[in-house]
Amino acid sequence: MSTSQEGRVRLGRRAVVAAVGAAGAAAALAACGGSKEQDGARTVRPAEGGGGGAVLARTADIPEGGGTVFGDRGVVVTQPKAGIFKAFSSTCTHQGCAVKEVTGNTINCPCHGSTFDAATGEVTGGPATQALPGKSIQVEGDSITLA
Ligand code: FES
Task: Kindly report, residue by residue over 61-99, the tens digit of the pLDDT.
Answer: 999 999 999 999 999 999 999 999 999 999 999 999 999
Domain enclosing residue 29, as ranges: 2-33
For β-strands 67-70 and 55-58, DSSP reports them as unpaired
Asked, for residue 133, whether it belongs to a domain, the answer is yes
User: Same domain, yes or no, for 126 and 59?
Assistant: yes
Mutate to test the pocket of ligand 1, among 95, 99, 115, 116 (most ligand atoms within 8 A of CB): 95
Write down the pLDDT at residue 141: 93
User: Same domain, yes or no, for 80 and 138?
Assistant: yes
Q: How far is C-alpha 102 from the chain's CA centre?
A: 20
Asked, for residue 43, whether it belongs to a domain, the answer is no
Asked, for residue 63, whether it belongs to a domain, the answer is yes
DSSP 3-state percent helix, strand, coil across the chain (nearest 5): 35, 30, 35
Atom of ligand 1 nearest to the CA of 99: 1
For the chain, what is the domain count?
2
Atom of ligand 1 nearest to the CA of 97: 3
Mutate to test the pocket of ligand 1, among 88, 92, 132 (most ligand atoms within 8 A of CB): 92
Q: Is the pLDDT of residue 124 over 50?
A: yes
User: Same domain, yes or no, for 72 and 104?
Assistant: yes
Asked, for residue 41, whether it belongs to a domain, the answer is no
User: Same domain, yes or no, for 75 and 107?
Assistant: yes
User: Same domain, yes or no, for 18 and 68?
Assistant: no
Q: Do you find a cis peptide bond into 46, omega within 30 degrees of 0?
A: no
Q: Is residue 143 classed as helix, strand or coil in its secondary structure?
A: strand
Write down the pLDDT at residue 115: 98
Asked, for residue 22, whether it belongs to a domain, the answer is yes
Asked, for residue 49, whether it belongs to a domain, the answer is no
Q: Is this model's pTM higher than 0.75 or not?
A: no
